[in-house]
Amino acid sequence: MEFIRRLRVPPIDDTLDAALHQKIDQKTKPLGALGQLERLAFQVARIQGTMTPTLKNPHILVFAGDHGVAKSGVSAYPQDVTWQMVHNFLQGGAAINVFARQHNINMRVIDAGVNHEFEDHPQLVKGKIGPGTENFLEQPAMSEELCEKALRLGAAQVDAIAEEGCNVLGFGEMGIGNTSSASMLMSYLLDVPLEHCVGRGTGLSDEQFERKVKLLQQAADKYPDLKNPIDILQTFAGFEIVAMVGGILRAAQNRMLVLIDGFIATAAYLAAYKLAPAIGEYAIFCHRSMEQGHQHMLEALKADPILKMDLRLGEGTGCALAYPLLQSSLNFFNEMASFADAGVSEKS
């Protein structure tokens, strides 16, 4: 796919690494005393290539799409909840709206493939690739052409907010059935058994969970030889997940700080990582979900998430909740006195 070749991500220049470490170590504190805040400050400054990093015009993009597999009973909620929740986002009533308002984060909702026609709204991007994907229990979720369109959609949204001066971007999603897609992506991309990847999603009962596992295993049995990340996306992903892949890759290309939310967003990141491993330097994992698959994915990626709060909501909520800690990391880095500035003796 030609467009993927245009989404290559270069590694970050390490020229400032020593100076950044020295600046952190010279603050009026014991070495390493601010723990993960020190690592976050170093990472952000390194991405931006400056000794005075800043967070500008923060955004969260919430990609929405329907999944054909939802019609097979893999979710506790009906498919109509996808468009109903998008409407809730646009009315300002969802959790992500509350947290984004609290922390002055701009929010944009992208209809990548919801089976509903929305009225115009200033926060809504009408990017519908189609009215939902095919049911991957019966056939691949999308064609190569539609997969490329979804990748382009995500990249275009990131370019648009980059032009507005944004340098820190969170990725969220909404789509009934998308934990099933994420489970399949994880299993294939990490080559791990499906039982390590499937969770209860929106709150399945024991009986519903057993049905979900059985159905997803049937899907896995249909496609035993998939290896290429694009082929895996075409077979199992939702339009919103593929759009996130394109957005994550473009954000790293644009040297933006990439905030990754929970299970579905991390599955999208995993696909992007398999396509361009250098994006690992740009990504911050905001929380560890209650979904067992998310915990295994984070371990496989050697990722240390900022928050561990038993969340399992999606929407980008983890990104919004973690954002003030990112602000704190840069505030200490830029404003905290050094030993020399404060006239405080260093450890002998």
Q: How far is CA 97 from CA 105, 106, 113, in A?
A: 9, 9, 21
Catalytic residue among 173, 315, 335, 346: 315
Q: Cα(165)–Cα(326) distance, rounded to whole angstroms?
A: 18
* DSSP secondary structure of 8-71: --PPPP-TTHHHHHHHHHTBSS-TTTTHHHHHHHHHHHHHHTSSS----S-EEEEEEE--GGGG
Q: Cα(179)–Cα(7) distance, rounded to whole angstroms?
A: 26
315 catalytic per annotation: yes
Q: Cα(190)–Cα(19) distance, rounded to whole angstroms?
A: 36
Q: Cα(325)–Cα(330) distance, rounded to whole angstroms?
A: 9
Chain Cα centroid distance, residue 192: 21
Q: Cα(281)–Cα(10) distance, rounded to whole angstroms?
A: 10
Letter for the amino acid at 183? S
Sole residue written with tokens 């498919």: 79
Phi-psi category of residue 347: left, alpha or beta, with phi > 0 → left and psi -120 to 50 → alpha:
beta
Letter for the amino acid at 179? T
Residues 6+ positions from 226 with CB-CB distance below 8 Å:
188, 232, 235
Q: Residue 37 corresponds to which tokens in the numbers above? A: 């805040």
CA count, 13 A, side-chain hemisphere, 196: 15
| Positions marked catalytic | 315
